[in-house]
Structure 1
Amino acid sequence: MTSFYINILENPERQANIILALSIVPSACLGTYLFYKKGQMKPSTLALIFVFTAVLLDALITVPVFIIPEEGGYSSFFSDPVFYAIAVELYFIVFYFGSHLTKNKTS
């Protein structure tokens, strides 16, 4: 994450989490919109797929590339409550936006 290298706040971890929490909103909406242009799935299932994909990518890319070189590890990354708050945020954004899109398709 480039937010670690551009210091605005004193705590770079908090800064990265704030930027991530804000950037999830448009990216989750865009991904949901693009899926529902051609796909059919319950919004709750799509939201779970988004969350599991994000967790998998965090385990395969984020932790080894960004966290471990900064003296962190898998346990510190996945035990952080902010990680779970962001995962819940992602779930609800995809679920509610997907519900909105599917409701408008059937109307």
Structure 2
Amino acid sequence: MKYIRALFSGFLVWLSISISFFILGKIPILKDSFLTQAGIVMLLTIFYAIAVAKFYYRKKSNIKGLKLGILMSGTALLLDTFITVPFVEIPNGRNYQSFFYSPVLWLLVFINIMSVYLYWRNTKNAYK
């Protein structure tokens, strides 16, 4: 199993989602509507997760999709703990509790895991 590649995949998903929120926060029509931004990012997360899963599975690997999705999401959550919350959330008046209790965060985690799992399940014969 290629853990470094899986962790890097999680970094790519985290980076893509972070950049998406940053860009959407700068668009005048969307900057005041977190739920609209979150909805757009949730849709984008499906594409990010699939793209990163394709990247991961280019090198043949026997890791199951659910495990890869969990590793990727865990990596992203770890990066949120050490980067997003202290450097983005806290300066904007929020805290760890408000960030990690947000249902949007856990929906994004679920969407990422399920997207990777479904991609793997639908293509697993190609990677045996």
TM superposition score normalised by structure 1: 0.86
- Note if contact 1:44-1:95 (Cα within 8 Å) is conserved in structure 2: yes
Identity of aligned residues (%): 26
**Does residue 49 of structure 2 align to residue 20 of structure 1?**
no
Q: 1:19 to 1:62 in 2, by over 3 A?
A: farther
Is the aligned partner of 1:32 residue 2:53?
Answer: yes
Match for residue 85 of structure 2? 63
Aligned length in residues:
106
Write out per-residue CA displacement over residues 52-74 of structure 1, whole angstroms, 9 at most, x where no aligned residue.
01111111222122211110011
* CA-CA distance at 1:43 after TM superposition: 1.2
Question: 2:25 touches 2:31 (CA, 8 Å); kept in 1?
Answer: no
**RMSD of aligned Cα (Å):** 1.7
Instruction: Give the aligned partner of residue 17 of structure 2.
Output: none
1:74 alignment partner in structure 2: 96
Tell me, in whole angstroms, the C-alpha distance in 1 between the residues paired with 2:118 and 2:38. 22
Gaps spanning 5+ residues in structure 1: where?
Answer: none
Give the drift of 1:10: 6.8
Q: For 1:103 and 1:7, locate their aligned partners in 2 and report how far apart those are by CA, in whole Å.
A: 45
Whether 2:110 is the aligned partner of 1:88: answer yes
C-alpha distance in 1, partners of 2:30/2:56?
36
The alpha carbon displacement at 1:7 in A equals 2.9
Over 3 Å counting, the alpha-carbon distance change for 1:43 and 1:61 in structure 2 is same
User: Is 2:120 the partner of 1:104?
Assistant: no
In the TM superposition, what is the alpha-carbon distance from 1:11 to its structure 2 partner? 3.5
